[in-house]
Amino acid sequence: MNAQCAGEDGQITICDIPNPANQSVNLFALLGGNPTPGGTWTDLQQSGGLNVNTGILNVQNVNESDTYVFVYTINNSSCSDNVSTVTVTVGGYSGINNPNASACDDNASVNLFQFVGNFPNPQLNGTWSDDSNTGSLTGNLLNATTSGLGTFQFTYTMPAIGTCPAHSTVINVTVHPAPDSGTPQNLILCDSEDLSQYSNLNLLDYLSGQDAGGTWSESGTSELSSPQDTFINVQNIYDTFGPGEYSFMYTVKPSHPICEEMTSTVLIVIEKQIDFTGSTLIVDSDICEDEVGLASFVATLTQGVETVPNGEYTIQYQITGPIPSGNIIVANFVNGVVTFPIPSISFPLVGVYTISILNIHETDGYFACDHIIGNISDILNVFPLPKINTGTLTIDDACEDSDVQVTLSGNTNLTDGNYEITYNLSGSNSATNQVVQFTVIGGVANFIIPFNLLPNAGLTTIAITHIINLQTGCENTASLAQNFTLNPTPNGSSIFITIGDVCENQPVIVNIGGLGSLTNVQINYDLTGANTSSGTATLPVSGGNATLTIPPNSFPNVGNTTFILQDIINVTTTCGLLNYGMSDTFAINENPDAPFAADLDFCVNENAVVQDLVPNGSEFQWFDSPTSTTPLSNASPLITGNYYVSEMSLLGCLSEKTMIFVTVNEIPAPTLAVDGQNFCGLNSPVPTLFNLSENVNYTGILAWYNSPSGGIPLLNSEILQDGITYYGFDSSSTSGCVSQNALAVTVSLLNCDEDEYSLMIPDGFSPNGDGINDTFNIPDIEFLFPNFTLEIYNRYGNLMYKGNKNTPDWDGRNNKSAVSDGVAPNGVYFFIVNFNKDNKAPKQGRLYLNR
């Protein structure tokens, strides 16, 4: 018996979980045999219901229905069986039915276990069923936000175990609506806005979806007169309290206590606009190119006319320049000043950077105000190192013992401003560590090497070793050199001057000799004495000689004048003798007074020459222009125009020229009107020269002659002869000049119309020599038919005579056949007249010859 001191195993099944007796089941009492008290209990499955010290099992504390084994152990080495077990089958318990459970429809996780009681607690290993098919049940959790409002049934079932049956609990859950205080919309304002438009603001306009019947409260503005008042005056709030945050709460109570009351807050925010006008930004500091990446930069922003409240601000800045950038930083304004670093990477290249503040806002604000920024900026320079190694030094050759100008230009990076360089001289002249300052304008700089450093002629080299930009302080080594030549000055020991006397208004010729091998010289001279002036001229040199011509206007006065050669400079090298002082004196002789002369008139056919001009003589010279220096020969023909006469003195000086105007009158030949030479010889009275004059155009007096050279003058009453040429000359009644050329008119008297005149052919004649009717002719036929022919035949048909206008008269002789002595006997003869005009038919007839 001692060997079985733990007793024998026992077992029990407990189905009525709510029975109070099951709160203290003594497991020791369930052991068989004679167990020894004082052993220890072990809850192998951690049921949660066993007091291991007392062995008392509270079944109602076991959370799940199951079969549990509890071990009893006696710590006694003499026992052969010191362990025994008690097996307890715990039946299922699902709680108590609840027909009046409630939930709020804003609860997405309603624990249904809360509705089935907790004396004892229902066990956890059952299953829930959605009897109303809400579709909103997950495990033991009901989503009331999706089930909808209403009452829904759910069943919790614990399965049967051992001899214990299944156990179910039914609950009815009524889902009640949660109150909705609405979705608020905040009103965020800046005090720079017109707040008067919000002086009657309805808070309901800033809620949406709220339940009616709620009440309003607020945070101390006293704008609401009652819980039902919904209107406020924002302008009054600002005027009374200033900028700030003002809360107005709308509260809605629930229809069932399961739901909590809801409150929505409409926030009225009035932010103060900060005026940063006058604020200054200083970004330290400018750097040189070789400091890029090594320097640090701090920006200091100081408030302007308006105080900036202390606090944390978001500051946006931008950087413009060679590489644009920007950033947004958070920094604290303290007593109107804020400092913040700017990364050195923001200034990676040489150039000018502008740092500008774009926006400033409080970090805890609502960004309602666009604060007044204005122009808040600073400029930071990354200065280049002055670099001249690839530049160009331009140095003109100079003269010994003179200043030398050096021009620096070309491929440098020098900006306009002041610089200092250090240079050395070598070659014909030497100097070390010479310092000079100069100004760069448009990439070009000039500086002087002083003459005291250049005493020797020859080749000299300047080498620049260092350069400093005096504005930026940036400096750099340099290696730029250039050669230049110092030329010697001319030798003046052999130079001489000769100047001859001249007349008034004549140039003075200065001959300068002894110039050696010079090719071009520039001279500076002075005139003293009767005439004073100064001048400069550049002269070519040939064979050591140069000639200077000084114009007449430099010598307004007669008398002795001295020429002083002050400077003589080699144009090729620009080196020269200054203040040389060589001189020569010469005379300016007076010119005679201008002679008197009057305008003259000539006729062109007089063939006037210069000898005919007045005055004349060996002391007078005539010219064809006011500037001519070559007088005209006496045989030069005169033409219409200006002529100029001067008188020459015994010294060969000419007076001023006197101008006269010579008129060589030329009368143009008369002109004949169209067909003005044509007349009819049958007219009565017969045409005369007077009739011909009426057909001529002339300007003065018309005179007729019988030859082109004049000849015999003809009267106007002269009867015109057919085929005769008459010569007309025009003449001026004022000058008396006659036209040099004549109008030649060959008169025709054949311009007759046969229809106006009848032709009478005689029927006989008496060639007996008595002077009466001695020939046969047809009167005036030559005027009407100038090309006529006349044929005379005897009665036998023999041609006796043939005539025309040149032989119009038949004298009764046979000139066509040998008949006795050629004298035609008395008798009847026949004539034929061929008119030869306008296809007029010939006319024939007979005539009677009676001696």
Q: What is the CATH number of domain 280-383?
A: 2.60.40.1930
Q: How far is CA 618 from CA 132, 502, 621, 622, 633, in A?
A: 158, 21, 8, 11, 11
2-90 under CATH 2.60.40, yes or no: yes
CATH number 2.60.260.20 is the correct assignment for the domain at 496-589: no
Residue-wise pLDDT for 115-146, tens only, equals 999 889 999 999 999 999 999 999 999 999 99
Number of neighbouring beta carbons within 10 Å of residue 42: 14
Partnered with residue 56 across adjacent β-strands are 26, 51
Q: How many Å apart are CA 573 and CA 311, to the nearest integer? A: 77
CB 632 within 8 A of CB 694: no
Residue 107 scores a pLDDT above 70: yes
What are 627-642's pLDDT values in tens digits? 998 999 999 999 999 9
- Give how far Cα 453 sits from Cα of 425, 548, 610, Å: 9, 37, 72
Query: Are 405 and 427 contacting, i.e. CB atoms less than 8 angstroms apart?
Result: no
User: Residue 646 and residue 182: Cα distance in Å, rounded?
Assistant: 124
78: left (phi over 0), alpha (psi -120 to 50) or beta: alpha
Q: Distance between alpha carbon 278 and the CA centroid of its chain, in Å?
A: 35
Identify the band that residue 1 occupies on the pLDDT scale cut at 50, 70 and 90: very low
The residue length of the chain stands at: 851
Q: Are the C-beta atoms of residues 638 and 612 closer than 8 Å to each other?
A: yes
pLDDT surpassing 60 at residue 3: no
Distance CA 29, CA 146 (A): 53
- Which class is 600-665 in CATH? mainly beta
- Report the helix count and the strand count for the chain, using DSSP H and E: 4, 62
* DSSP structure string for 319-385: EESSS-EEEEEEEEEBTTEEEEEE-GGG--SSEEEEEEEEEEEETTS------B--S-EEEEEEEPP
The rounded percent of the chain whose pLDDT value lies above 70 is 99
Whole-number pLDDT of residue 814: 83
pLDDT of residue 793: 92
pTM, full prediction: 0.48
pLDDT digits over 402-452, tens only? 899 999 999 999 999 999 999 999 999 999 999 999 999 999 999 999 999
Residue 137 burial (C-beta neighbours within 10 Å; 0-12, 13-18, 19+): buried
**Which residues, 6 or more positions from 744, have their beta carbon under 8 angstroms from its beta carbon?**
708, 725, 726, 727
Neighbouring C-alpha atoms within 13 Å toward the C-beta of 759: 17
Q: How much is the average pLDDT of 190-206?
A: 96
Alpha helix (H) residue ranges in 599-757: 689-693
- Would you say 378 and 300 are in contact if contact means Cβ atoms under 8 Å apart? no
Residue 307: how many other CB atoms lie within 10 Å: 12
The domain spans of the chain are 2-90, 98-176, 183-271, 280-383, 391-487, 496-589, 600-665, 671-746, 757-849
Element (H, E) at 582: strand 582-589
Q: What is the mean pLDDT of residues 734-759?
A: 86
Q: How far apart are CA 394 and CA 484, in angstroms?
A: 9
Rounded CA separation 111/124 (Å): 12
- Cα 320 to Cα 289, 355, 360, 372, 412, distances in angstroms: 18, 7, 18, 21, 25
Which amino acid would we find at residue 278? G
* Contact by Cβ (8 Å): 64, 36: no
Most distant CA atoms of the chain, gap in Å: 234
pLDDT in tens, 510-525: 999 999 889 999 999 9
Report how far residue 722's alpha carbon sits from residue 718's, in angstroms, rounded to the nearest whole number.
Answer: 13
Three-point CA angle 392, 450, 457, nearest 5°: 85
- The mean pLDDT value for 249-256 works out to 96
Q: What's the whole-number average pLDDT of the chain?
A: 93
Q: How far is CA 251 from the centre of its chain?
A: 68
- Do 122 and 62 form a contact (C-beta atoms < 8 A)? no
CATH 2.60.40 for domain 183-271? yes
Q: What is the pLDDT of residues 762-820, one digit of tens each?
A: 989 999 988 899 999 998 888 888 899 999 999 888 998 999 988 889 998 887 765 44
pLDDT grade for 462, boundaries at 50, 70 and 90:
very high
Q: What is the gyration radius of the CA atoms in the chain, in angstroms?
A: 74
Q: Is 604 helix (H, G, I), strand (E, B) or coil?
A: helix
Q: Which residue type is seen at 220?
A: G
Distance CA(749)–CA(679), nearest Å, equals 5
**404, β-bridge pairs:** 449
**pLDDT mean over 231-258:** 96
Six token digits for residue 140: 């033991």
Task: Tell me how far apart the alpha carbons of residues 518 and 495 are, in angstroms, rounded to a whole number.
Answer: 12
* Euclidean distance between CA atoms 476 and 464, whole angstroms: 11
Average pLDDT over residues 693-717: 91
Instruction: Name the token pair of 270.
Output: 């009035």
User: In this structure, what are the phi and psi dihedrals at residue 114, rounded to the nearest 5 degrees?
Assistant: -70, -15
Q: What is the rounded CA–CA span in Å between residue 376 and residue 657?
A: 82
**CA 668/CA 699 separation, integer angstroms:** 9
Which residue type is seen at 599? D
- Tokens representing 657? 């020229």
Please give the Cα distance from 111 to 132 (Å, whole number).
17
pLDDT digits (tens, 9 = 90+) for 542-586: 999 999 999 999 999 999 999 999 999 999 888 888 888 899 999
Q: Is residue 57 a contact partner of residue 11, using CB atoms and an 8 Å limit?
A: no
pLDDT surpassing 50 at residue 2: no
Mean pLDDT of 721-725: 91
Q: What percent of the chain is modeled with pLDDT above 90? A: 80
| Residue-level pLDDT at 817 | 60
Give the separation between CA 708 and CA 742, rounded to whole angstroms.
6
Rounded Cα distance, 493 and 122, in Å: 143
CATH code for the part of the protein at 391-487:
2.60.40.10
Burial class of residue 354 (count of CB atoms within 10 Å of its CB; 0-12, 13-18, 19+): middle
Structure tokens at 347: 């200034």
**CA nearest to 55, candidates 67, 37, 68:** 37
Q: What is the mean pLDDT of residues 643-666?
A: 92
Tell me the two tokens of residue 730.
Answer: 């025009």
Find out whether 314 and 360 touch, Cβ atoms under 8 Å. Answer: yes
- Quick one: residue 37, left, alpha or beta (phi over 0 = left, psi -120 to 50 = alpha)? beta
End-to-end CA, the chain: 234
Give me the pLDDT at residue 4, please.
Answer: 66
Tell me the three state secondary structure of residue 526.
strand
Q: How far is the C-alpha of 428 from the C-alpha of 88, rounded, in Å?
A: 128
**Euclidean distance between CA atoms 774 and 823, whole angstroms:** 13
Per the CB < 8 A criterion, the answer to whether 395 and 484 are in contact is yes
CATH fold of the domain at 98-176? Immunoglobulin-like (2.60.40)
2-90 matches 496-589 in fold: yes
Please state the rounded mean pLDDT for residues 74-83: 81
Assign a CATH topology to domain 757-849: Immunoglobulin-like (2.60.40)
Asked if 549 and 507 count as a contact pair (C-beta separation under 8 A), the reply is yes
Q: Which tokens go with 547?
A: 């000639």
Residue 403 · residue 491 · CB < 8 Å: no
| Single-letter residue type at 24 | S
Q: Which two tokens stand for residue 580?
A: 């040389």
Helix (H, G, I), strand (E, B) or coil at 708: coil
- C-alpha pair distances (Å), 326 with each of 298, 315, 321, 329, 378: 14, 11, 11, 10, 14
Closest CA to 68 of 31, 28, 24, 27: 27
